[in-house]
Amino acid sequence: MENNKINLKNNLSTKIPVFPLSNFIVFPNTTVPLNIFEPRYLKMTEDAMASNRLIGMIQPKKSGDLRNPDLFDVGCVCRIVSFNETDDGRYIIIIKGINRFKILNEVENNKIYRELNVDYRLYENDKDAEQEEFEFKKIEKIMEELKSLFRKRGYEINWKDLEGQNVYQTLSALSMASPFTIMEKQILLETKNLEERKKKFEQILSTYSSEFYNTKTLQ
């Protein structure tokens, strides 16, 4: 009998299909588009659409088998909120982050994609995270340093849209879009709350000071 329990607090399955994607993180209450073209993830998307529309997004490590790399411990379960098929057979989907999870173990299956048993309890307050009281002025320094970093890296971002969001949405979007390394993004993903994420952001940005701009290689 398959272990596919439902987490009663947030009505999420604790057994989820997983899409390892390098240098890509998703936070709860954020939406991002995905272009699905690899056969195993086309099948994963089809199966998700036929059931609960849930897929787990997680970063792979640079270890393990090339096709099935080792995974970081923490990812985010997402719901497919938009689905379109292109003329050449690709799927263009939009996913919305629901809740972060910690891996318990990988499921042995006969499918062409991977599945995980996961635990949401470490991040059980994710659904309330966007309501945290946090003044925008507390991240003004982060915004200014990131604007400088983005200019130096040639990155473009709509700062007006970001500044029109609340602090949770802004820090989440910047965590996802910033030209940080895989490990740095993972550190941001695993933060428990906005205050901790702000502090980690400041620590990471300090390593991108002017003397490092020309020497630090992005992963």
Residue 215 forms part of a structural domain: no
What does the pLDDT read at residue 153? 82
Give yes or no: residues 109 and 202 share one domain: no
Give yes or no: residues 25 and 100 share one domain: yes
Domain tally for the chain? 2
62 neighbors 69 (Cβ within 8 angstroms)? yes
What does the pLDDT read at residue 139? 85
pLDDT block averages, 10 residues each, the chain of length 219: 47 94 90 96 97 96 84 97 96 96 96 96 80 76 86 81 80 87 93 90 83 44
Domain finish residue from 124, 152, 180: 124
Give yes or no: residues 113 and 161 share one domain: no
* 218 CB-near residues (< 8 Å, 6+ apart): 153, 179, 180, 181
Give yes or no: residues 138 and 174 share one domain: yes
Give yes or no: residues 115 and 140 share one domain: no
Count of positions (residues) in the chain: 219
State both tokens at 152.
């130096």
Give yes or no: residues 113 and 182 share one domain: no
What does the pLDDT read at residue 8? 40
Give yes or no: residues 116 and 140 share one domain: no
Give yes or no: residues 18 and 80 share one domain: yes
| Secondary structure string (H, E, C) spanning the chain | CCCCCEECCCCEECEEEEEECCCCCCCCCCEEEEEECCHHHHHHHHHHHCCCCEEEEECEEEEECCCCEEECCEEEEEEEEEEEECCCCCEEEEEEEEEEEEEEEECCCCCCCEEEEEECHHHCCHHHHHHCCCCHHHHHHHHHHHHHHHHHHCCCCCHHHHHCCCHHHHHHHHHHHCCCCHHHHHHHHCCCCHHHHHHHHHHHHHCCCHHHCCCCCCC
CATH number for the domain harbouring residue 28? 2.30.130.40
Give yes or no: residues 57 and 151 share one domain: no
Give yes or no: residues 32 and 140 share one domain: no
Give yes or no: residues 73 and 166 share one domain: no
How many angstroms separate the CA atoms of 149 and 213, rounded?
8
Domain finish residue from 103, 124, 145: 124
Residue 219 forms part of a structural domain: no
What does the pLDDT read at residue 132? 66
Domain finish residue from 82, 99, 124: 124
What does the pLDDT read at residue 131? 62
Residue 75 forms part of a structural domain: yes
Residue 216 forms part of a structural domain: no
Host domain of residue 197 = 132-208
Give yes or no: residues 66 and 141 share one domain: no
What does the pLDDT read at residue 3? 45
> What is the maximal distance between C-alpha atoms in the chain?
58
